[in-house]
Structures are given as structure tokens and as C-alpha cells.
Structure 1
Amino acid sequence: MLPTARLQRMNHGSQFRALSLRGDQFARPIDPFLGVDHAWISGPTFPAHPHAGFSAVSYLFLDSETGIDNRDSLGNRNVIQPGGLHWTAAGSGVVHEEVPAEPGKTVHMLQIFINLPEDKQAQAPHAFSLEARDVPVVRLPGVKIRVPLGAFGEIASPLSLPTDVRLLDILLEAGSEAEIPIPDGHVAFVVPIDGEVTVDGQPFSLLDPKAPVNLPQGPRRVVTVQAKNGAAKAVVFSGTPLNQPVHWQGPMALASPAALNEAVQRYQRGLFGSLHTR
């Protein structure tokens, strides 16, 4: 039997609710992913905050009612539109903030936290975006697969990534299925987004807040995702494990206690920079 994990409800005030997945929920880590939040955000929730040592990635679903106003201490400011993606490789440290672009409308998104290789954790932070129109799409009978990160067959995202990961946003019509090959060496898992999905015959549903998430790690390298009772949506994640320690303090995660302590001190001295006034 493949190992499983469970999504946990996570609310932060009245304007942020999420189903959250964290690596410490498993007997085995989901390296290189540190966490995933399937989130609905309807107002400013988290004040400007620091990151160091990993990448913070925001992916908006096409049904999001509005975009995300994103800015950071590097001077970047942009609106992540529905269907788009923004990747912040925090490296040695950055201050970051995201809020819904239009008050009163709800952002439907994934917040993804991806570890950086240890030799990149001390590098200068940088960020890049992918517009919705530039996300490659694969169409199969009854299936639409968006490929914002990584590749599916011969179709590849245009992004060059600091960590080897893949994200497939899969929309299935009722009764349809898709066979998803898992790249050699990747750890993979599936998150249900909407409707009822079966993964290798095992049902998963967003309606159950503790729905198990499949983590195929055995020799079988193809996962079958199917919609049985109506249309459904799921996201398949995979990535090459970094096999390095993770030391946390708040929103910083580095590969050694010394590097973590140095990052904390840099932030306290104001060396991560600050955001310009809105």
C-alpha cells in the first residue's frame, strides 16, 4: 500500500482559509516540498513577512475571482492574474507580501513552499512570473492539463527552476481519466481540488477535510487520475528530493542551524530590505 498523508484545515482570521499539507505530517518527508496550502483568500491576511532558504510559489486557479497584488523588498510589484504563477526564490533573504487585488473578491490559489538546494540558499533572492496565457496546455479526451512547472511528455513550462519540481493542474470531465507518468527519481503526491477524484482506484474528495493524499514512491511510475461522479480537478506535484536537513524558525528554513541563525540575524539587522509604502 502506498503511504498517505492528510490535508488539515488551517484558517487565519476570517479572510484566509486553507487545506494545508506539511512535510512533518509524514513518516517520510515530501522533499523537496516543505508545504502546500490550497487556499481561499478574501482580504489582507498576512502582513509583510520575511523568507529565507526556500522558494515561496503562488499559483492561482483559473476560477479565482481576482488576482494577487504581489510585492517584495527587491522592488518587484506585479499582479498575479488567475491562471498565473509567481516564484520567489528567497535565498539569503527577502521581505514579501501578497494581498487580493480587488477587495471583496476571493482568490483561489495554491501557496507552495519548495526547498532550495543548500548551495543556493545563500544566493541573492530573485523572483520570476509566468502569465496565464504562457502556461502550456495539454488536451486529451475529456482532460485538460495545465503545465505551469516542469513538463508533461513533450510539453514543458518555459520556466527554468532552481529546484527540480513539476506541477500539473488537471481538469477532468465526468468519467474521464488521465495517466500521469512520474519522472524518474521524483517523489510525487496528488491534491484533490474540486469534485471527487480517484487515484489508482482510491477515492479522494475535497469535501472530506481529512482526505488522504496519495504519495506514490514505489516502483510503479504511472498514476491514474479519474473523475467518477461529475467533473473534478486535481493537482499532481512531483520533485527530486534534495536529501538535506531542514531547520525551521518561523518563515525561514535552512540546511544548518548556523545558516538559520545567520539568516535570523541578517533579518533583525534589516538586511532583507523593506517594502515601499503602498
Structure 2
Amino acid sequence: MITTARMHRANRGSHFRAYGLHGSDPAQFDPFMGIDHAWMSAPTFPPHPHAGFSAVTYLFLDSETGIANRDSQGNRTLIQPGGLHWTAAGRGVVHEENPAVLGSTVHLLQIFVNLPRERQSAAPFALSLAPQDVPVVQRPGVRVRVPFGSFGGARSPLTPPTDVTLLDISLEAGAELELPLAAGQRAFAMPIFGSAELNGESFSLDNLRVPILPLASKAMMHKLVADPGGAKVAVFIGEPLHQPVLSNGPMAFASQESLIAATAAYQRGDLGQL
């Protein structure tokens, strides 16, 4: 049985708007911790810390410009439209992301992915994937990009610290796509444009609903169908980590002691500066 969650609108002036998915129950999207589907055309967030999880930025192909990413580890990356940057914050890092060309709009997903407990206090590192290296799977009336994870015999070359899948799916009017879900996995679908149905459950930006497939006890196939106007959908798939989530906002750990230690390290300046 499908359950649903609601997205929430957020704006910061005229240069940033987003639909956010952040559940009050950490188990609801586990191992994902939150997602923002956003449009940004000017610097919005000053340099800020992350620790205990991964902050992932994926740019849709219709972005007018890229994202300039920099962090306190010395990484400097230009994320191109259609590309991806994965910051595994580990014990802590400070980073900042701004549109490469101010005034041009970036269309993106900001995805927060939990780290397995044993990786939460590891050294931070970053992974990047160029647009041309993202695998594409074609089906009748359907185009699927696979920025991380796998689908339809295609696997992303990215090897992230948490084994999860993102599918950027474009469907023509009335097109259908079968989504396999392995035993032990959970999935949910986020509307990007248009409206669609997942196993008969309708969702779109108009109703702000996100359908969540139940944790699979066995391998199952699910059906995604676009409405007459077509649709663009992001599907997230992962195996829950089933670990505590203790958070102060920019940091989240499985233990209170680790959270306190990372917070103190940031306040001392041990996470570095930009």
C-alpha cells in the first residue's frame, strides 16, 4: 500500500524558490534525510557546515548555468547542467554553492543522504560526475538518466558511500515505465514537472504529494504512468540504514556524542574555512 508525504514551498527573495521534502520521522525516507527541488539565480546560502551525512547536488539539463562549488578541503568544482557533485561530509566540512553566472537560473535537486554509522566520523571527501558520464536508458516514450545507482542494465560510474539510486525520468504523454524494487528497498517519487501516477496514486506539483512505496519484502515491479500532458519525475531508491538520526540541522549523527563533538569542532574552526 502506497503512503504519501507532502512537500512544502520555500522562498528566499526572488532568487530562490524550492519544494522541500523533509519528514519529521527520520525512518520515512531512510536512507534519504531530505530533498529540495529548487531554482536558484543568486547566492542564497553563506558558507555552512555539514557533518555525519552526504550533501548531493544534481543539476537538471534545463539549467541556464552551472553551480560553482567549493569546500574547506580545497575542492573547487563547476557542476554543469546534467552533472552531479557528492559531498560526503563525514566528520565535518564547510562548503558553499552559487550559480556560476549570477542572474541565470539553476534548476537542481539538493539531496541529503545519511551515511552508515561506521562512515560518519570518517574524513570528508567529494565525488563529481560530468553530464556526459551519466548513463541514459531509453524506453518507448521515456528517457531515464541514472546519476547514481542503477536501472535497466545501466549503472552510474559513481561509487557513493551510501548505496542509493536516483532516476531522472522524462515521460511523454501517457507513457508508462516499470520500476523494479529489490527486496529490502524503499522508493518514493518526487514530481518535477507535470503529473503522473505511481501504482494508480496521482501526484504533481499542484497537490504537493509524494508517493512512497512500502519497504519491499520481496522483489516487486511498480508502474509509473504519465498523465496526458507528460511528466518529469525524480525517483529515489535505497535500502534503509535503520539507525538513529540525531540532528541539529546542518549536522546529523547516529549518536549524541558524535553530534556534540562535530558541533564543537566547527565552533573551534577545526572544519576549516572558505
Rounded to whole Å, the distance in 1 between the matches of 2:161 and 2:20 is 24
Rounded to whole Å, the distance in 2 between the matches of 1:27 and 1:251 is 15
| Correspondence for 2:36 | 37
| Correspondence for 2:99 | 100
**TM-score between the two structures when normalised by the length of structure 1:** 0.95
**TM-score between the two structures when normalised by the length of structure 2:** 0.96
Pair 1:5 & 2:18 matched: no
Pair 1:167 & 2:166 matched: yes
Query: By how many angstroms is 1:170 displaced?
Result: 0.5
Query: By how many angstroms is 1:74 displaced?
Result: 0.7
Please say if residues 188 and 210 of structure 2, whose CA atoms lie closer than 8 Å, have aligned partners that are also in contact. Answer: no
Query: By how many angstroms is 1:216 displaced?
Result: 3.4
| Correspondence for 2:211 | 213
Rounded to whole Å, the distance in 2 between the matches of 1:107 and 1:261 is 34
* Alignment length (residue pairs): 273
Give % identity. 58
Which has the larger displacement, 220-229 or 36-45? 220-229
Query: By how many angstroms is 1:218 displaced?
Result: 4.9
In structure 2, the residue corresponding to 1:262 is in which secondary structure? helix
Query: By how many angstroms is 1:117 displaced?
Result: 0.6
| Correspondence for 1:91 | 90
In structure 2, the residue corresponding to 1:161 is in which secondary structure? coil
Please say if residues 93 and 271 of structure 2, whose CA atoms lie closer than 8 Å, have aligned partners that are also in contact. Answer: yes
Rounded to whole Å, the distance in 1 between the matches of 2:80 and 2:214 is 32
Which has the larger displacement, 83-92 or 149-158? 149-158
Rounded to whole Å, the distance in 2 between the matches of 1:190 and 1:132 is 22
| Correspondence for 2:200 | 201
Query: By how many angstroms is 1:28 displaced?
Result: 4.6
| Correspondence for 2:186 | 187
Residue-by-residue CA offset, 1:52-101 (whole Å, 9 max, x unaligned): 00000000001111110100011111110110000000001000000011
Amino acid at match of 1:44: P
Rounded to whole Å, the distance in 1 between the matches of 2:215 and 2:190 is 15
| Correspondence for 1:224 | 223
Please say if residues 23 and 33 of structure 1, whose CA atoms lie closer than 8 Å, have aligned partners that are also in contact. Answer: no
Rounded to whole Å, the distance in 1 between the matches of 2:250 and 2:31 is 16
In structure 2, the residue corresponding to 1:195 is in which secondary structure? strand
Please say if residues 7 and 213 of structure 1, whose CA atoms lie closer than 8 Å, have aligned partners that are also in contact. Answer: no
Rounded to whole Å, the distance in 2 between the matches of 1:80 and 1:128 is 11
| Correspondence for 2:233 | 234
Rounded to whole Å, the distance in 2 between the matches of 1:218 and 1:22 is 22
Amino acid at match of 2:258: A
Rounded to whole Å, the distance in 2 between the matches of 1:6 and 1:206 is 10
| Correspondence for 1:152 | 151
| Correspondence for 1:23 | 23
Give structure 2 stretches of 5+ with no counterpart.
none
Give structure 1 stretches of 5+ with no counterpart.
none
Amino acid at match of 1:163: T
| Correspondence for 2:265 | 266
